[in-house]
Amino acid sequence: MNFRISALLITGVLFTLSFPIFSEARVGATLEQLTHQAAIHWVSVQQLETALADKKPANVGFDIDDTLLYSSPAFFYGKSKFSPDSMNFLKNKMFWNELSSKGWDEFSVPKQSGRELIEMHLRHGDNIYFITGRPAPEGAKEDLTEIIQRDFSIPVEKLNKVIYAGTSRNAKVRYIRKNHITVFYGDSDSDILDARKAGATGIRVLRPLLSTNTPFPVNGSLGEEVVANSQY
């Protein structure tokens, strides 16, 4: 055996001793498991459905951005187009008009948790309303209703047009109350608080981890139920 081969063998042994290869499984955690660590009132879609079993069909409501749709791609594009160096695009009517009438939500990703919640309420016979904090587009036909219907497979006879509540404080309260909504799902504190002010139950949906809507809310801090695994 020559010197070069001996040196390679010794190097291999030293590497193995320094960095042992483990074949046995190690204790780990999925992202779903990690999100359950906080001691808050977690509920699953199945638990929510079980709780509805002996109740009559009712009116339920959903926020849209970060609740049903991961819409950060559309908002990111709007920021890049109207105010790359600031958040001023959120004060620009042209942004809001184009967001909800130019097909930008074709790039928004429907959340699986949203699908499961909507399917569950449709099975129960509930009427579903969509109330967004976006201002209504001016001088253009909104296309968000059509996208929501398609992405979440909502029957035409069960479809209610998206309600554009706008960005003002407590904006959703009047629409939740007007439509006799008993349960409202949302990702932000204002969704939970607006639901309560309107006499409805607010249930938290987790904001997607990649959302550009920051800072993130403290889920469960209002004592509300939080839907497990609803970040995606």
Per-residue pLDDT of 114-158, as tens digits, reads 999 999 999 999 999 999 999 999 987 999 999 999 999 999 999
Q: Are 227 and 44 in contact (CB under 8 A)?
A: yes
pLDDT score at 139: 82
pLDDT score at 37: 66
pLDDT score at 27: 72
Three-state SS at 214: coil
Average pLDDT for 16-39? 60
Comparing 34-48, 75-89, 100-114, which segment has the lowest mean pLDDT? 34-48
* Percent of the chain with pLDDT strictly greater than 90: 82
CATH code that applies to domain 33-227: 3.40.50.1000
Comparing 137-141, 164-168, 224-228, which segment has the lowest mean pLDDT? 137-141
Q: Which residues pair with 42 in a beta bridge?
A: 226
Confidence class of residue 31 from pLDDT cuts 50, 70 and 90?
low
Q: How far apart are CA 213 and CA 120, in angstroms?
A: 27
Q: Give the residue among 71, 76, 57, 67 at the shortest CA–CA distance from 106.
A: 71
Q: Which of 65, 105, 187, 194 is labelled catalytic?
A: 65
pLDDT, the chain, mean: 90
pLDDT score at 11: 45
Comparing 33-37, 127-131, 163-167, 201-205, which segment has the lowest mean pLDDT? 33-37
Q: Spell out a b/e string for 207-221, using b for 16 or more CB atoms within 10 Å of the CB, else e.
A: bbeebeeeeebebee
54 is catalytic: no
Does residue 95 have a pLDDT over 60? yes
Average pLDDT for 51-72? 98
Helix intervals (H) in the chain: 3-18, 31-34, 45-52, 72-82, 93-99, 112-124, 144-151, 173-178, 189-197
Q: Which of 63, 126, 151, 191 is labelled catalytic?
A: 63
pLDDT score at 184: 99
Average pLDDT for 215-226? 97
pTM of the model: 0.86
Average pLDDT for 171-189? 98
Domain parsing of the chain, residue ranges: 33-227
pLDDT score at 72: 98
Confidence class of residue 35 from pLDDT cuts 50, 70 and 90?
low
